[in-house]
A and B are shown apart, each in its own frame.
Chain A
Amino acid sequence: MNDFTWRSLWTKIGQLLSLRMVKAFSFQLFSDISLRHPASLSTPPSTPKPTPDTSPSTDFDIVAFYNDLISRDPTITPPIAAIESLTSLLASTPLTTISETLALLSTHSSKLLASQRNPIPLSAGTELFQRYLVSSFQQRPSSLASSDFTALRHHILSNSSLFVKRANEARPKIAQHALPFIKDDSTIITYGYSRAVQALLTHAAESNRSFNVIYVLPATGLSERVSKFIAALNDLSIPTATISMQALIYALASLAPSAPPPQFIIGAAAVLENGSIITELGMHQLALIAKSVSVPLHVAVESYKFVRNFPLGYGPTDLARLGVRQNVLQFGTGTPNSDPKPEAATADEGKVLTTEAEMVEITPPNLISALITENGIMSPNAVSEELIKLWF
């Protein structure tokens, strides 16, 4: 899809056809329609069509800025880092028109996305920010309606930092919402590393709940982040056990039957429109086990991780639609240790996820009991509702 033109065209057409319905149209579809129906949707004669080429040049290196942000602050999530990068991009580039701003944002967003091997979490942030900008253009306070662009730009910049601030407040809110779920003496099973889950468990421990944590480890073993997390939990005197995926069902059966029922609380890199979650490899399997032994699976996730993309399944085609390519199946006849280097290690090596540690997976919504977000507890079905509210 032509990622550049549609966003910039959007405002223009939105102004043109002031009907609410038209605003509700999915943007990306507009560019083409307006081209195909020159008679029905006449473009204003004065404004030229913005193309990616007209994007103003800047020496701001968004990729470097983003990487720097991620490495500097371990608690920052990719969507927020992306939004912050875009904000500082806006701040550092003096622009004079709205369409320039949007063109700049879209080119740099796609640049940023292209630099990542797993752009799904990022795309949630960049799309949300661009959507946010458009709506703040449309719903700007009347005092700014007639003023020049610099005032508007200032307003947007201050709003953007507010936006980031609000997003950062999401995790404490999630922790608050999740507190009633955590019963004394219950067992919480978690998998993978998630800042939201860490915040949640820490908050629960600080609220003097006593509970046990079972940490399911992936085949790749204990990562540094996870071991730090476990150490932090132990400091809060939360008993933790680490088990491998193979031991999960036996571990569940070994829990004291008199204790409050166990539950899974996990994080997610992104939530898709039908309520599927994107997580590291192994989560789908875990969710299936949870479902089959009737243990609830709760996903602690910030609502800025909602992505407007509807997968039809959980296979590679669905991931490819999201811009992730990975190959789990590598058939070979050599010994298992011979490490078959696939042909993928050629041209676009950078875009294919190769190690299992960084591979992702879609877990379908029917396996998820509830999403715990800062806006409250919702069923997976409610994600599309939230997204529609956010976008239209």
Chain B
Amino acid sequence: MPPSDGVPVTNGTTQPSGDVPSKESKKSKPRPDGSARTATEQDIAEAGAGVKLTGALLKKQKAAEKAARRAEKVAEKGAHAQQQAQTQTQTQAGPSGTKLETPRRPSTTKRESDTVPHHRRTPSSGARQLPIRGAAQPQPQPQASAPHEKEKRHELNRVPMFSHLYPKEKRATLAGAGREIHPAVIALGLQLRDYVICGGNARCVATLLAFKMVIKTYTTPPAVALSRHLLTHLNHQIAYLRNARPLSTSQGNSIRWLKNLISTQPVESTDSEAKQSLCEAIDLYIRERITLADEVIAREATERIEDGDVVLTYAKSSIVEKTLINAHRQGKKFRVIVIDSRPMFEGKNHARSLIRAGLKVQYALLTAIADIVDQESVTKCFLGASAMLGNGKLLSRAGSAMVAMMVKECSRNKSRNVPVIVLCETVKFSAKAVLDSIILNELGDADALVDSAQSGVFSTNPSLAAATAAPSKGGSKKSGAKDKDEDDSDDKGAGSNKGLEEWKDQPGLFLLNIMYDVTPAEFLDLVICELGSLPPEAVPVVNGVHGDDQALA
């Protein structure tokens, strides 16, 4: 790290973490004075005016805020484009790594530590300041011309069809965290960003626990109602988390629940009472909607496993793992096939924990699915879920749709009915109806596809290529998943002995690491949730039962 980095970084970290013990006292202090004044004042004004607001008005207000935020983003984007046009005219030093790196560092940290908190705070606390922010926008930009060259390049390498999924702003960083971001949230944000905490349930629980910490250390500023101010305070945290990684459906649902709960806190209750009840409610929510729900689902799903079954699963799902281990503990004799794929290889973990539990596991890559389904008489397919959509479709790790389809289609030809069973807590049910995998998705880091261990396969050195391809049988197969991209790279990289490493500098080469896909309802037989077994078409009914219909918004 360059020394110029040191100041903002320590600034960013020590300040929030330093006041962990004395959070309550400190938290309330910096708010009223200093730069945060406008925000707080506005909060107060807002809260004061809003005490008598009805739920509908509140909703309207929220919607307005959201619209304003969106408008702001658009404006930002516009400024960005302008910026690019500028930089394009400026002749820029070539992409010599170090030279580019050093000027970039300070400018980014500057942007993030100085301007971002400033921005961050304003958008969520007061959306009405939009014009001011628009004016303030260009100020830091001229200095940041160097990174934009790189960014522009990067943008060129974006897959146009998925352009709406690329992060609009910089991913959350440690230094970029505003002063109001709770250390627990910062830690969680980084963990989410780096996929340390991964999986719908884990993310949901971690988020709720982090918010519990936030609530515990929160003190309401004088003359504001907790139900009003805590919400705005929480919005900052949510924005940070969303910046780290787009929120999953489970996170979204539970955050919506929490916000609703906060806004309905009685105004007359004291801070400590309200905080206590909120924390208890969060604990209860985690227990009921996730811990107990998992328990219930695992039991129900275990009953579906019979002796002699060959169970196919894809990637990793905590609840599928629990079910399989549960069934094994009950003495059922069955075999498991774990299908896995690049680039996350979550199935390895899954297979490992199943083996540790004493199960018989076969591990194969997604590319081998046709053979597996054909040769091994698979009798059941269990899938985890990221979300069950309102039209009965399943949103899950990219590749699930392929697995479900292969299982259904292959079994159709063989007079064998292989049911595809989805295990999903109702907290992951969404009222959104999605038709394809394009609209509602998430992009992973495209660099994850550039596996350094794989580079030999693409190299011109035949002996090296053979050497790497032979032992890791998956090597060539894995690359097959991304035919187009790698063909490109083969053609272009052949002469210069380049793999995909410098794909960003290769014009016309796109790398796409998509995280989820949507499985149509006709490939699913059964959804097991804590309410019992349902056909996928019944998902909207359950939404109705749970009053999660707000998810439509």
Q: Tell whether A313 pairs with B419 under 8 Å between CB atoms, given A19-B288, A21-B546, A273-B534.
A: yes
- Contact mask A359-392 → B, CB, 8 Å, 1/0? 0000000000000000000000100110011001
B contact face: mostly helix, strand, loop, or mixed: helix
Q: Tell me the residues in window 489-539 of chain B with beta carbons closer than 8 Å to chain A beta carbons.
A: 525-526, 530-535, 537-538
Stretch in contact with the other chain, from B31-39, B269-277, B295-303, B364-372: B295-303
- Which residues on B sit within 8 Å (CB–CB) of A32? 299
Does B417 interact with chain A (Cβ within 8 Å)?
A: yes
A-B CB pair tally, cutoff 8 Å: 80
Does B306 interact with chain A (Cβ within 8 Å)?
A: yes
- Which residues on A sit within 8 Å (CB–CB) of B291? 40
Chain A residue nearest to B304 (CB atoms) is A312
> A237 to B306, alpha carbons, bound, how many Å?
53
CB of B468 to closest CB in A, whole Å: 43
- The reply to whether B296 and A26 form a contact with Cβ atoms under 8 Å apart is yes
Q: Tell whether A317 pairs with B288 under 8 Å between CB atoms, given A25-B530, A36-B295, A392-B531.
A: no
> A121 to B419, alpha carbons, bound, how many Å?
25
- The reply to whether A384 and B295 form a contact with Cβ atoms under 8 Å apart is no
- The reply to whether A384 and B534 form a contact with Cβ atoms under 8 Å apart is yes
Does A308 interact with chain B (Cβ within 8 Å)?
A: yes
- The reply to whether B531 and A384 form a contact with Cβ atoms under 8 Å apart is no
- Which residues on B sit within 8 Å (CB–CB) of A381? 535, 537-538
CB of B264 to closest CB in A, whole Å: 15
Interface size counted on chain B using CB atoms at 8 A: 31
CB of B333 to closest CB in A, whole Å: 15
- The reply to whether B531 and A25 form a contact with Cβ atoms under 8 Å apart is yes
CB of A363 to closest CB in B, whole Å: 14
- The reply to whether A384 and B545 form a contact with Cβ atoms under 8 Å apart is no
> A275 to B525, alpha carbons, bound, how many Å?
12
> A1 to B532, alpha carbons, bound, how many Å?
15
- Contact mask A176-218 → B, CB, 8 Å, 1/0? 0000000000000000000000000000000000000000000
CB of B524 to closest CB in A, whole Å: 11
Does B256 interact with chain A (Cβ within 8 Å)?
A: no
- Which residues on A sit within 8 Å (CB–CB) of B530? 24-26, 29
Does A241 interact with chain B (Cβ within 8 Å)?
A: no
Does A65 interact with chain B (Cβ within 8 Å)?
A: no
- Which residues on A sit within 8 Å (CB–CB) of B284? 19
- The reply to whether B296 and A21 form a contact with Cβ atoms under 8 Å apart is no
Q: Tell whether A274 pairs with B535 under 8 Å between CB atoms, given A21-B546, A33-B296.
A: yes
Option from A17, A26, A274, A385 in Cβ contact (under 8 Å) with B531 = A26
- The reply to whether B531 and A312 form a contact with Cβ atoms under 8 Å apart is no
Q: Give chain A's interface residues, CB within 8 Å of chain B.
A: 1, 17, 19, 21-22, 24-26, 29, 32-33, 36-37, 40, 273-275, 308, 310, 312-313, 315, 317, 381, 384-385, 388-389, 392
Q: Give chain B's interface residues, CB within 8 Å of chain A.
A: 284, 287-289, 291-292, 295-296, 299-300, 303-304, 306, 380, 417, 419, 421, 525-526, 530-535, 537-538, 541-542, 545-546
